[in-house]
Structure 1
Amino acid sequence: MADDKNIGTKIKSIRESKQITVEELAERSQLSTEQINNIENDMNVPSLAPLIKIARALGVRLGTFLDDDENLGPAVSRKNEAVETIHTSNAEEKTVKHNNFFTLAPQKSGRSMEPFFIEINAIDDGTLEMSAHEGEEFIYVLEGTLKVIYGKETYILNEGDSIYYDSIVSHLVCAADEKGAKIIATVYAPA
């Protein structure tokens, strides 16, 4: 991932271009100034929830942090051309790279959904935290076994299974065993 593609760098650039202080962004996104500083300086690996809150607070799509293209037509992603764009973590230790995201439509501007191929690394789910944010998510399991905790329910999904849920409910997506998992996920976050 090139330096100019770092999410923290992009967030800082957008924030500064809109003349918003770290403190104002923290207030608008309901995150701490420390979280904002750590994300902007690439000191921690954020989960998807704070990124969505930051995007909303800045008035941009989540995809703005992932791409630069202005293609209004269809976006085709080839198997061998996938580029890793983001690492996230739901772990208490925010330097853990729990998920590796590969965006599937970086060249499509103005999109309302964010489609990803995600490699979910095996990690002790006792160290993971639930998250919640506006929007919806759809997940299809390509490989491995996935554990999805949604509110008070736990779902075990195997290859070929899928789940669609409202992201406002506290949820956690992780590998169900030490083998990890590979999924296709589409995230919709209203602007």
Structure 2
Amino acid sequence: MSQDFNHNSEIIAESPYDADAELKQQKTLEQEDCVHVGLRVRDMRIERGLTIRALAERCQLSANTLSLIENEKTYPNVNTLQLLARGLKVHISTFFICEKPKQSVVYQKRGERAIIRFSNGKLENLGDGLPRLGAEPILVTLDKSSEIPQDVSHVGREFIYCLDGNVACVIAGKAYELSTGDSLLFDASISHHWENARANSSKLLILFCTADAEDKPTEKHLGSF
């Protein structure tokens, strides 16, 4: 199932989480009827070829609880969502991405894009509304972090252009330092991650080029932080 970013709402997912704010946002999204967490969990489970029991064991939940969530008989709290995100290996914000009709032209004004915040930065989807097949452009701001993200890999190629600051892209253990104006293109099936050990934030324009509409490079990178 294709997942898209809804530019009408800001999606915030940071660690540690503000439980009250998260639950309030969940209720708001549920009332807007644009997010069905249970159905999204079920689709992601099926995509991974997992049974309810297998995913429940991964998430340290009972099979009955997971079944109730998937059938939208109960709504998961923040702790349960974190367990589900870890079990499915996705960022928790993935559960709150609204579906919207596909477009043939995407025009975005500054300040109108959805912002997904993660532990040491934020991400903006520049292709909101277009199918992912072919290219998926994102704008990433990386803050300084002492923690090294986990390596990820995905289908196709990845292009990075450093708009501002200094950042390292580590590919198969080798660090490629990027400063303002530098670019990098590589086979994204090789394990890699982005990191910023400098004092100032850095801004990157990233283009995921994939021939597999089911591959989700954005979610994989978000899950690495």
On whether the aligned pair clears a TM of 0.5, the verdict is yes
Which residue of structure 2 aligns with residue 73 of structure 1?
104
More strand by share: 1
Q: CA 1:177–1:65 in 2, change beyond 3 Å: closer, same or farther?
A: same
Question: How far is the alpha carbon of 1:147 from its aligned partner?
Answer: 0.5
**How many residues matched?**
163
Question: How far is the alpha carbon of 1:99 from its aligned partner?
Answer: 3.5
Question: How far is the alpha carbon of 1:111 from its aligned partner?
Answer: 3.0
**Aligned 1:81-120 pairs, distance under 5 A:** 81-84=112-115, 86-88=116-118, 97-108=119-130, 110-112=131-133, 113-120=135-142
CA contact (8 A) 2:146 2:197 kept: no
Greater length-normalized contact order (CA 8 Å, ≥ 6 residues apart): 2
Larger Cα-atom Rg: 2
Q: CA 1:170–1:111 in 2, change beyond 3 Å: closer, same or farther?
A: closer
CA contact (8 A) 1:26 1:33 kept: no
Q: Cα deviations across residues 30-89 of structure 1 (Å, max 9, x unaligned)?
A: xx8239999994427x79x9449xxxxxxxxxx9974522133111122221220x344x
Q: CA 1:74–1:150 in 2, change beyond 3 Å: closer, same or farther?
A: same
Question: How far is the alpha carbon of 1:166 from its aligned partner?
Answer: 1.4
Is 1:175 matched up with 2:196? Answer: yes
Which residue of structure 2 aligns with residue 14 of structure 1?
40
The CA RMSD measured in Å over matched residues stands at 4.1
* Stretches of structure 2 lacking an aligned partner (at least 5 in a row): 1-10, 12-24, 67-76, 215-225
Q: CA 1:104–1:18 in 2, change beyond 3 Å: closer, same or farther?
A: closer
**Aligned 1:1-191 pairs, distance under 5 A:** 1=11, 2-3=25-26, 4=29, 12-16=38-42, 20=46, 24=50, 33-34=58-59, 41-43=80-82, 50-51=89-90, 66-84=97-115, 86-88=116-118, 97-108=119-130, 110-112=131-133, 113-125=135-147, 127-189=148-210, 190=212, 191=214
Q: Cα deviations across residues 121-143 of structure 1 (Å, max 9, x unaligned)?
A: 21014x43222222321111111
For the residue of structure 2 that corresponds to 1:138, the secondary structure is strand
Q: CA 1:19–1:182 in 2, change beyond 3 Å: closer, same or farther?
A: closer
CA distance in 1, matches of 2:60, 2:183: 32
TM-score of the aligned structures, taking structure 1 as reference length: 0.65
* Stretches of structure 1 lacking an aligned partner (at least 5 in a row): 53-62, 89-96
CA contact (8 A) 2:41 2:95 kept: no
TM-score of the aligned structures, taking structure 2 as reference length: 0.56
